[in-house]
Amino acid sequence: MCYLIEFGDFLSTDLKNTDNKQTIKPWEQLLELYPGLNEPIRESWNDPLSIRKIYMITPTKTRAEQIADLTRLAQTLYLVPNLFWIIIEDEIKPTQRIHRLLQSFHLPFVHLNIATPDYLKPTQNQSTWRRPRGMFQKNIALQWIRSNTNRNDDALVYFADDDNTYHWKLFQEIRKVQSVGVWPVGLVGELLYERPICLNGKVHSWFHFIYRKRKFPTDMAGFAIHLNLIHKYSNYIFNVSATSIGQQESQILDTMTTQDQLECLANNASKIYVWHTKTQIMFITAAHKLQKAGLTYDLISEL
């Protein structure tokens, strides 16, 4: 009886509050209920640097987790003003399921595609680290940028995996880049993080563990490049041979800058705003059992 009385009191109070808020817009109600939402939106969209466009390059390939990863990433991008998303599928032609997903978010984007040749794909029992990943897709994105932007535009280029985790403040750091900026990346290289070690805003050395011979031992998520460098080095493409494993970052940075020229961002490379997370591969074993029983389904093309 006591619980029913309390529930009834809650309902009457809630209805009263609803009546009082009829003149308040739904978005204002949301900010009133969750005032923490206001900070990233206000800070991002009112930042004077937000006038600088970011071209974000994201290779993606068909897998069971793909739609979930892209959905999570797209919803983060709502907090980021003036960003243009370049999605490149590892497919012979663009798939409708990805195009429908991208259109549903109403974010500025272009949807491209190119298939990685079979001989460069990992075999069934081979780690994905043993083959170059996303390089053909990144090269197509660079080609698109050079054909569709002006070399004098004040804009930035950033490479973003579809399953990484991004703090909204990362994009504020990207907009500070004048030439090439660097910052830490979490959960990468068999460490909690890799990072440049900076003194007075310049890179002194690197904190890292694996692939010790890398000239620039950072993850692809750990730097951004000014658009004019992409145009200046217009012949640059990623080396797509299998011998380039672990060298994508060093290839492009060694072409376009030097360690002395790198700009340390994220509070002198002391803050982590991006994590090299990797979605756990789902073992869809029940599908095979359904097929053996004569039952089939194919939702991946519908989602």
The residues carrying an active-site annotation are 249
Residue pair 140/243 in contact (Cβ under 8 Å)? The answer is: no
Going by C-alpha positions, the residue among 252, 273, 234, 82 that lies closest to residue 180 is 252
Feature table: binding site for Mn(2+)? 163
Report the C-alpha gap between 247 and 254 in whole angstroms: 10
Two tokens, residue 295: 């039952």
Report the C-alpha gap between 205 and 197 in whole angstroms: 5
In one-letter notation, the amino acid at residue 156 is: L
Strands 263-264 and 185-188: unpaired
Report the C-alpha gap between 243 and 72 in whole angstroms: 33
Going by C-alpha positions, the residue among 238, 222, 226 that lies closest to residue 272 is 222
In one-letter notation, the amino acid at residue 17 is: N
Report the C-alpha gap between 183 and 203 in whole angstroms: 10
What SS3 string covers 15-75? HHHHHHCCCCCHHHHHHHHCHHHHHHHHHHHHCHHHHCEEEEEEEECCCCCHHHHHHHHHH
Q: What beta strand segments (E) does the chain contain?
A: 53-60, 83-89, 109-113, 155-159, 165-166, 180-182, 185-188, 191-199, 202-207, 223-226, 263-264, 274-275
Report the C-alpha gap between 210 and 190 in whole angstroms: 7
